[in-house]
Amino acid sequence: MLSSAAKLAEIRRLYYAATRRTIQADLARALDVLKSMSSEEERERAAVYMDGLAQMRSDWKPRSRARQEKAGRGDGG
């Protein structure tokens, strides 16, 4: 079993090593580690990395064709 510091270090490592290709697996692993943390204080320290991983997943999510076309039109409509 990992210590509190090791759990936080693992989430931090996943955050810095995440790529577009690995983000889903990295986030799933980070969630597993987060769930294993025993105190709210530990989870609060990991929150910034979890937020970052979630944002990366959102940013790197493949766009649907309709969304790509809409995004390419700009403000003119």
b/e burial code for range 42-68 (CB count within 10 A of at least 16 → b)? eeebbeebbebbeebeeeeeeeeeeee
Tell me the average pLDDT of the chain. Answer: 88
Task: For residue 36, give Cα distances in angstroms to 2, 3, 61.
Answer: 9, 10, 27
pLDDT tens-place string over residues 18-53? 999 999 999 999 999 999 999 999 999 999 999 999
The number of folded domains in the chain is 1
**Does residue 77 belong to any structural domain of this protein?**
no
Q: What is the domain range of residue 28?
A: 4-72
Of 2 and 53, which is predicted with more confidence? 53
**Does residue 42 belong to any structural domain of this protein?**
yes
**CA quadruple 45, 35, 18, 57: dihedral positive or negative?**
negative
pLDDT at 61: 86
Block residue for tokens 């580690």: 33
**Does residue 36 belong to any structural domain of this protein?**
yes
